[in-house]
Amino acid sequence: MSDDSSIKKIKKVFQGESWGIKEFSVLIFAIAVQLWDLNVRLSGTYFSTINYQIISLYFSLAVIAAIILDKKPPFKKIFARIGIGLPFFQKLFGFLLFSFIAYCIPFANYIFMKIPEYGGIPLRTITSAILIFWPIWIIYLAFSEPKKLARWAGSIYLLIWVIILIVSIAPLAAYQLQDAEIPGVMPGRTIGSLYRELVGGAKEWKQTIEGGTIGGYEKIKKEIQIGIEYSKTGIDPTQAKVDAANKRDLGVQVLQMKASSPVYYENDQVNVYAQIKAETLEQPVTTKVKCYATSEPIPGQIFPSNEFTIETYDVQDVDCVFPSDNLEEGLHTIHLDTEFNFETVSYFETFFMNEETLRELQKKKQDPLAGYPKPSATSSKGPVNINIKTPEAPIPSAPDKRMTLSITLHNTGPGQIKELKEVYIFIPKGLGISTAIDGRKIYQKIECNELPSEEAKVCVPDTTTVYKVSADELKKELYKNIVLSREFRLYLEIQDYDALLGESIIKPGNIYASAKYDYEMDQKVQIKIQKQPTSI
Amino acid sequence: MIKKIICLTMLFILIGCTGMRFPKNKEAIPVPDIHQGTTAIEMQYTEGMPPKEIFEKQLFEIGLELQNKGATDIQNGIFNLAVNEQFITLLDEQMTRFNIKGKSVYNPIGGKEQIRIKAQSRELGRQISGQSTTLIANACYQYQTKATILTCIDPQPLKKETKVCTVQSQSTPQGQGGPIAVTNIEPKMMPHQNPDKIKPAYVITIKNLGNGQVIEPNTIYDACTGRNIGKENYDILLINALLSNEILNCEPQTLKLRQNENKILCESTAGIPKTAGNYQTPITIELEYGYIQTIPKTIRIAKRTY
């Protein structure tokens, strides 16, 4: 008798009536898919658009779930309304939609990658944890019409997920705790501090939105503006690859601009301070600093000095001081303007090939550059990126052959190119500005010995032709206060074929561009001046 | 009797010592088939010459190893090296001539030559830590592919009898010791104007199985030095074919390689008497051409201090 009941119990289990073997099996498969997805997409090309391996796994999961499960499918009503009446297909489409959402969730995080920090909270840290680990399939299988095994297994998984979520936020908490100078880290304090910081962060958001457009919002605005500008001007937004081997961050950066207090009383002295880091390889950089409050505008005083020159690397602490009673009650935006001279250079090695030989290879659909590196410009580090574009390599070469060379200066820093001072363009000997379109007013041919000493070092008279963008041209408004980019287009022709190709069928040739400019950055911080509290 | 026993014992000992080996069939020493393969010159940079990274203003050597893996000797081949003169100065001549023997029964791996060119990197501009640049080595030479294939002659193909061989197409994709190869021969027994004879004809398929460029053999100097040689001189092969000792009439005799596979028709003008019977005979196809190969190598020039 007891044997019979045991058999019945086992039967029940395997029929999935009480334990939910079927749900549990699908859940285990879903967890495996989820973990594999995380492993593949987090460890490698995380945001790569299409990963067929993962897609096929999610697809299989949906199909298996549709075949095995008897649960009420998601979005059933929607599919019924659009005429999908068969329960199997309702299940299949519902589960496929589930899989699609599960696959797409990590992409949502890309939006937050663009906004690394907003109101002091690194959004990425939290959203990464929520969005990437969001186990949509597991939640559904464990908690929609739950069965014993699936519910337990799903709960364990979700518990792990919550722990991971907390661990992901922990660096933020630790950072905030460090800032709050709490000695040691205790769990209670960590959670308490985390709570306070999150609430404080939310308040900061509110204050930021109320107080005007600062920080993150301006970043978004700038991104949108850049997008619109590029589409309007038609300038290619492609940038040169940056000299990655150089581990230094060349240029000037304003680090940690802060007010000594977010709120002051009317008779308080207002102190805003920042660290200015300047780094260069060889060119000396002179940095000028000024500060002001926009509300009036009222200039602040800079301490210790409003101008300093560095040869290689230096970090300067700069304070901007507004004496007491200088600023009235209300919100004030304090600006710290940093201006410095800088130079960016860019190299582009391409290949020139006898046109006749090239055409013959192309006729037979042979790749003339099989085994060759794909030519691309390399720009030095700094706030400006110089991209160089030529016709597709190998450039067909024949006497009098014409081609267009484009040199684009992209502003990649947080400020603007205040003024372009000098621009030099080196092209291989044999090439020259075409007489078809007179560009002599813009580009002046000069000899190597007419160059400044640093440029002259890399100029080889036998192999290089040098052009300089004329001083008159650079005085134009077009080359001032460049927020986005400025493009130079050179119309060239092969004037001496033998000099260009020498005694070769195919030859590498170099284009070099150098730009000297003044760069300006404007960093802001918001403070609030309150009325002195009246003593009772 | 004792003498006989001693003699027999001695005989057994002698036989035992020699191992009683009687030659069965003499094993033939294998003769290497030198007319095989699809490579002529195999060109590669010598390991570490130049190294992957050099510093600015540094003297270094560029080394190349040229091996003739084909079956033709190269006379007066041209080698030249192209560099980006903004970054590298060649201290030796950019161009040099070379002669390398091809594979033979005495040297089945082919001849080799090493080329060394001294160079110096130039100073780099400021603000940049280094720059990659590509060296391009070119080799241009005259070459010949000689394909000898046994073919079947059947003057009376319709006659039903036991035949020595069958007329059928033969595929030879493995090459004949040169980058240009005869990849297929399709024999056809055509009617001759003399009704007592037949005219063997062959559709020969030719392919460039290498990765170089074919040019007319007499234009290699101009082509290798970047001069225009005229469109008509690209992808040109000169063809000669012999059936046994008879020169076949090939149409066209100068073939322009237009596609991946190119076909020519070679036929015997003299014809074969129908009474000659069914037999095998070699067809020899000689292809003459100029060949250009290039090989790049990218190196990085790093700044001395950054």
Tens of pLDDT, residues B106-121? 888 899 999 999 999 9
- CA distance linking residue B131 with residue B303, whole number of Å: 9
Task: Examine residue B5 and state whether it is found in any structural domain, yes or no.
Answer: no
Say if residue B108 is in the same domain as residue B221. no
Residues 273-332 of A with CB under 8 A from B: 280-283
Give yes or no: residues B166 and B116 share one domain: no
Tell me whether residue B25 is in a domain.
no
Q: Can you give the pLDDT at residue A87? A: 75
Is the full-model pTM beyond 0.90? no
Instruction: Give the per-residue pLDDT at B304.
Output: 81
Q: Is A37 on the interface with B (CB under 8 A)?
A: no
| Of the partner residues B123, B213, B296, the one whose CB lies closest to the CB of residue A372 | B296
Q: What are B118-160's pLDDT values in tens digits?
A: 999 998 877 788 889 999 999 999 999 999 999 999 888 777 7
ipTM of this predicted structure = 0.80
Q: Give pLDDT, residue B15.
A: 56
Domains and CATH numbers, chain A: 2-175 (no CATH), 247-340+522-530 (2.60.40.10), 343-517 (2.60.40)
What percentage of chain B carries pLDDT values higher than 90? Answer: 52
Residues B91 and B216 placed together within one structural domain of the fold = no
Classify residue B9: in a domain, yes or no: no
CB contact, 8 Å: A378 with chain B? yes
Interface test with chain B among A351, A431, A504, by most B beta carbons within 10 Å: A504
Confirm whether B32 is domain-assigned. no
Among the partner-chain residues A354, A454, A510, the one whose CB lies closest to the CB of B228 is A354
- Enter the tokens of residue B65: 């190893």
Does the pLDDT value for residue B33 go beyond 80? no
Residues A393, A358: Cα–Cα separation, whole Å: 10
Q: What is the mean pLDDT of residues B56-64?
A: 94
To 10 degrees, what angle do helices A136-143 and A87-113 make?
140
Considering the domain architecture, whether residues B153 and B202 belong to the same structural domain is answered as yes
Helix (H) or strand (E) holding A66: helix A52-68
**Mutation choice for B interface testing from A280, A313, A357 by most B CBs within 10 A:** A357
Extract the runs of DSSP E, i.e. beta strands, from A266-359.
270-279, 285-293, 298-299, 301-303, 307-310, 313-322, 330-354
Determine phi and psi for A208, rounding to 5 degrees: -65, -45
CATH code for the domain in which residue B133 is found: 2.60.40.10
Domain-embedded: residue B34 = no
Same domain, B91 and B195: no
B255 token code pair: 């073939």
From B84, B127, B296, residue closest to A344, measured CB to CB: B127
Nearest-angstrom CA–CA distance, A286 and A279: 11
Regarding whether B201 and B190 lie in a shared domain, the answer is yes
Closest approach of A449 to chain B, Cα-based (Å): 15
Q: What would the DSSP string read from start to end of A411-443?
A: E-SSSEEEEEEEEEEEEETTEEE-SSS--TTTE
Residue B300 has pLDDT above 80, yes or no: yes
How do residues A75-108 score in pLDDT, each as one tens digit?
777 777 776 667 778 888 888 888 888 887 766 6
Given CB atoms, is A361 within the 8 Å cutoff of chain B?
yes
Q: Is B84–A380 a contact, with Cβ atoms under 8 angstroms apart? A: no
Which residues, in sequence order, are CB contacts of A422 under 8 Å at separation 6+?
A: A452, A468, A469, A474, A514, A515, A516
Distance CA B265, CA A194 (A): 86
Average pLDDT, integer, range B53-61: 94
Mark whether B284 and B173 lie in a shared domain.
yes
More confident residue, A366 or B248: B248
Which parts of chain A sit beneath pLDDT 70?
A: 1-19, 39-50, 83-85, 106-134, 164-165, 167-237, 244-248, 295-296, 533-536
Domain membership flag for residue B273: yes
pLDDT in the model for residue A350: 93
Q: What is the pLDDT of residues B191-236, one digit of tens each?
A: 888 889 999 999 999 999 998 999 999 999 998 888 888 888 999 9
- The residue ranking higher by pLDDT, A196 or B167, is B167
Number of domains forming the structure of chain B: 2
Q: Are residues B69 and B156 in the same domain?
A: no
Whether residue B229 sits in one domain with residue B281: yes
| pLDDT given at position B118 | 95
Q: Which residues of A touch B136 (CB under 8 A)?
A: 351, 504, 506-508
Contact between A512 and B125 using a beta-carbon 8 Å cutoff: yes
Please answer yes or no on whether A454 and B125 come within 8 Å at the CB atom. Answer: yes
Cα separation values, A82 from A59, A90, A422, B160, Å: 22, 10, 65, 74
Predicted confidence band at B12 (pLDDT cuts at 50, 70, 90)?
low
Q: What is the pLDDT of residue A12?
A: 57
Statement: residue B238 has pLDDT above 80: yes
User: Are residues B108 and B211 part of one domain?
Assistant: no
- Compute CA B101 distance to the chain's CA centroid, rounded to the nearest angstrom: 12
Minimum-distance CB partner of A460 among B85, B129, B225: B85
Say how far apart CA A265 and CA B279 lie, in whole Å: 116
- Same domain membership, residue B156 and residue B135: no
Q: Enumerate residues 388 to 417 of chain A having a beta carbon within 8 A of any beta carbon in chain B.
A: 398
Query: Which is more confident, B79 or A144?
Result: B79
Give residue B135's domain range.
41-142+293-302
Choose the closest CB to A345 out of B87, B128, B225: B128
- Is position B134 within any domain? yes
Of A246, A351, A356, the CB nearest to B306: A246
Cβ neighbours of B235 in A, within 8 Å: 360, 364
B208, part of any domain: yes
At A36 the pLDDT is: 80
B138 and B261 share a domain? no
Say yes or no for a CB contact (<8 Å) between B129 and A426.
no
| Predicted local confidence at residue A208, as pLDDT | 46
Return the pLDDT at B52.
93
d(Cα B121, Cα A85) in Å, to the nearest integer? Answer: 75
Percent pLDDT > 70 in chain B is 89
